[in-house]
A and B are shown apart, each in its own frame.
Chain A
Amino acid sequence: MFGRLSVMLFKEFIQLRRDRWMMFRLIVPLFIQMVVFGYAATFTVHHVATAVLDLDQSQASRSLISHFVATSRFDIVDMARNQRQITRDIVHDRAVVAIVIHAGFSQDLESGRAAPLQVIVDGTNSNTALIALGYLSQITSQFSAEWAARAISLNVSAVRPETGIRLEPLPWFNEGLNERWFFIPGVIGTLTLLQVVSLTAFAVVREREVGTLEQIMVSPIRPFEFILGKTVPFFLIGFGDIALVTAFGLLWFRVPFVGDPLVMLGGSSLFLMAAVGMGLLLSTFSRTQQQAFALNFFLLNPFFILSGFAFPIAAMPRFLQWFTMINPLRYFLVVIRAVFLKGVGVDVLWPQLLALAALAGVMLTVSVLRFRKSLE
């Protein structure tokens, strides 16, 4: 005799294997997401289309412009001759940034006064605008420093040497502030959540839809055997997902992995338990696969946004921050990023692991209770 649980699992794996699209659905989105996040998801800004109106036409103004050109951040697309041209460039999307150097710019500098530099940015894309402004101020302060140094060497008495605070950035764990290192571990969590929740929910709802669920329930099978039979396969698939994406991230994108694989394993197990619990819970709210699909789509988006995957939780309003507390992805992302980049262990990550364990426990309990009720 094979046993009821084993035959459930056996059946589930045959079905997964027979599903011609399953492998496709499992693997392809994984790679697409990896490529998208590995290459396209970046907050850095390069080659910003820039228009320049140089009304000073001095050595100093040309030197400033060459500073902008020297970095790859700004591409000068138009040397405008008047203000109207600048306006047109911005309105017609030819330029995102316009720099206006007023007449008297070099005179101000020579005489040691603060020389105003007008910068117009297209605020439609606030993110790009903000980042471009940051670069601009970096470049201009660098220019000022150089100007001051030269003035001192030329012994121009009017110019005082630069004083004040000088920032010495020293990023730990990711010296190059490489965003890939930030995103790739995050993708592991988000993708796994998406796949595991939806696969579990669909698999259960399908049994309900086809009528096999009722058939199984008139057999002597116990609800927990059925539930295990329906969740263990997707728990394992989740592990496969995590392993695959991790390997891809390490080998292709060269994301470092300095932590303890065991911590990762433990965190992943808890996270996956919460995920299959969510899937099961979702299935109890859906009669058809279509309903499950809609619900899945509707629910998972907030889970991503409120996870800290891309947007910092600390910047969210208080009530949304409360919501993130019940989001398993939030904790798993902390764990996974810490294991990849920081190399810290349970001594640091225990609050997150504990939260994951609690969420897994609650999700599984609630979903099992609801599922049993839904059988009637």
Chain B
Amino acid sequence: MMATPADTAIRVQGLSKSFGSVRAVASISFDVVRGEIFGLVGPDGAGKTTTMRMLAAVLQSDEGEIIIDGVNVAAEPERVKRRLSYMPQRFGLYDDLTVSENIFFYAELFGVSRTERTTRSETLLNAAGLLSFRRRLAGQLSGGMKQKLGLVCALIHTPKVLLLDEPTTGVDPVSRRDFWAILYDLRESGVTIVLSTAYMDEAERCSRLALLHAGSIRYCDTPARLKEAMPGALLSVSAADPRGVREALAGKPGVLGTLLMGDRVHVRVDDAGNRIPELQALFEQRGIATAPIERAEPGIEDVFVALVGGGSRS
């Protein structure tokens, strides 16, 4: 028997999975504390979905162990299923069933009682802004509404652990806000949430993050501590031609990395005090018009690029 501390909702140890010669997940380990929103962050192909599917017991791991709520997933998948809710990137809804019928279907699959179903679906639909769409066929909902309905269906049975695989990809901002409101409510009620995302702004909302790259976890900490761990200082350069700025900075001493952020360029340098005047001089010399260089607060994207690499992404 594996002893798990009472506050550990998920324990993952040495988890690996290969597809043919591709090592999709390479021996990852992490713990998720009860009531946490834990984010798996990484670009496409980093192994997020594979990890999620193994957590949900729909994919068998090659090696390693997953304990969810004290239950070994590989040994007792059926027992885990009742405590778990898994929402893949595209939640499987029946397009030819109405919103209510989809909810009814998933409620019955999980053995939710009638009264519980009624009150829970009322609350969830209300939070999702779908109350007035109950009789509409799921196939006639917008992408964002479908994703929210998926969340409602996934939550109809009060799981202890909720797994969300890129839940807000392709979802409009309003639906996204509703979505996150529901997630925060869930956390309040003690549900542990693991979510994967490629959106850095979404990653900021998580209580802890695992930065995933090429199948392994490079860093795992709170967003604030990850930002502290970022080497160097971050400067922000606003310019009419941000690409020109970026090209001018290539290979310059003290410049650790650059990242295009719309009309600005985030420049990571070894020492802000010395480099600001240097760069300012460089731009003047090259005739590149810029606003005065400022220090900037790093976002998760900066941190990710600094810690994991992938600076080639522009």
Alpha-carbon gap, A372 to B93, bound state (A): 22
- A155 contacts B by Cβ under 8 Å: no
Contact B108 A3 (CB under 8 A): yes
Residue with the highest number of chain B CB atoms closer than 10 Å, among A1, A219, A221: A219
Residue with the highest number of chain A CB atoms closer than 10 Å, among B81, B84, B92, B110: B92
CB-CB < 8 A to A207: which residues of B?
Answer: 92
CB-CB < 8 A to B97: which residues of A?
Answer: 11, 14-15, 18
Q: Using A11-B94, A220-B82 as known contacts, say yes or no to A1 and B105 having CB atoms under 8 A apart.
A: no
Alpha-carbon gap, A3 to B56, bound state (A): 23
Residue with the highest number of chain B CB atoms closer than 10 Å, among A207, A213, A215: A215
- B78 contacts A by Cβ under 8 Å: yes
Q: Using A14-B101, A218-B56, A220-B81 as known contacts, say yes or no to A4 and B88 having CB atoms under 8 A apart.
A: no
CB-CB < 8 A to B114: which residues of A?
Answer: 1
Q: Using A1-B111, A19-B96, A215-B88 as known contacts, say yes or no to A11 and B101 having CB atoms under 8 A apart.
A: yes
**Out of A11, A210, A213, A220, which one reaches B105, CB within 8 Å?**
A11
- B3 contacts A by Cβ under 8 Å: no
CB-CB < 8 A to A3: which residues of B?
Answer: 108
Alpha-carbon gap, A207 to B59, bound state (A): 18
Q: Using A1-B111, A219-B109, A220-B109 as known contacts, say yes or no to A211 and B94 having CB atoms under 8 A apart.
A: no
Q: From residue A216, how far is it (CB to closest CB) to chain B in Å?
A: 7
Alpha-carbon gap, A58 to B183, bound state (A): 104
Contact A376 B60 (CB under 8 A): yes
CB-CB < 8 A to A103: which residues of B?
Answer: none
Q: From residue A206, how far is it (CB to closest CB) to chain B in Å?
A: 10
Contact B81 A211 (CB under 8 A): no
Name the CB-closest residue of B to A217. Answer: B58
Residue with the highest number of chain B CB atoms closer than 10 Å, among A14, A214, A216: A214
Name the CB-closest residue of B to A15. Answer: B96
Contact with B along A1-14 (1 / 0, CB 8 A): 11110110001001
Alpha-carbon gap, A75 to B86, bound state (A): 75
Chain B interfacial residues counted at CB < 8 A: 31
- B178 contacts A by Cβ under 8 Å: no
Contact B81 A218 (CB under 8 A): yes
- B133 contacts A by Cβ under 8 Å: no
Contact A214 B81 (CB under 8 A): no
Q: Using A15-B96, A214-B58, A218-B86 as known contacts, say yes or no to A4 and B111 having CB atoms under 8 A apart.
A: yes
Q: Using A7-B104, A215-B88 as known contacts, say yes or no to A210 and B109 having CB atoms under 8 A apart.
A: no
Contact with B along A114-138 (1 / 0, CB 8 A): 0000000000000000000000000
- A212 contacts B by Cβ under 8 Å: yes
CB-CB < 8 A to A11: which residues of B?
Answer: 94, 97, 101, 105
Alpha-carbon gap, A219 to B156, bound state (A): 12
CB-CB < 8 A to B56: which residues of A?
Answer: 218
Contact A212 B82 (CB under 8 A): no
Majority SS at the chain B contact face: loop
Contact with A along B76-106 (1 / 0, CB 8 A): 0010011011101011111111000100111
Q: Using A7-B104, A376-B60 as known contacts, say yes or no to A215 and B111 having CB atoms under 8 A apart.
A: no
Name the CB-closest residue of A to B113. Answer: A1
- B57 contacts A by Cβ under 8 Å: yes
**Out of B93, B104, B110, B111, which one reaches A212, CB within 8 Å?**
B93
Contact A213 B92 (CB under 8 A): yes
Within 8 A of B (CB), among A203-257: 207, 210-221
Q: From residue A13, how far is it (CB to closest CB) to chain B in Å?
A: 11
Q: From residue A227, how far is it (CB to closest CB) to chain B in Å?
A: 15
Alpha-carbon gap, A6 to B111, bound state (A): 12
Name the CB-closest residue of A to B94. Answer: A212
Name the CB-closest residue of A to B137. Answer: A18
Q: From residue A115, how far is it (CB to closest CB) to chain B in Å?
A: 74
CB-CB < 8 A to A220: which residues of B?
Answer: 78, 81-82, 109-111
Contact B91 A1 (CB under 8 A): no
Contact B86 A7 (CB under 8 A): no
CB-CB < 8 A to B105: which residues of A?
Answer: 7, 11
Alpha-carbon gap, A221 to B82, bound state (A): 10
Name the CB-closest residue of B to A216. Answer: B109
Name the CB-closest residue of B to A3. Answer: B108
CB-CB < 8 A to A2: which residues of B?
Answer: 108
Name the CB-closest residue of A to B157. Answer: A219
Beyond the given A11-B94, A11-B97, please list 15 additional residue pairs across the A-B interface where CB-CB is below 8 A.
A1-B111, A7-B108, A7-B109, A14-B96, A210-B93, A210-B95, A211-B90, A211-B92, A212-B94, A213-B92, A215-B86, A215-B91, A218-B57, A218-B85, A219-B110
Nearest 6 pairs of A and B residues by beta carbon: A212-B92, A215-B92, A7-B108, A211-B92, A219-B109, A18-B96
Q: What are 12 A-B contacts defined by CB distance under 8 Å?
A: A1-B108, A1-B111, A3-B108, A6-B108, A7-B105, A11-B94, A15-B96, A212-B93, A219-B81, A220-B109, A220-B110, A221-B109
A residues with a Cβ closer than 8 A to B are 1-4, 6-7, 11, 14-15, 18-19, 207, 210-221, 376
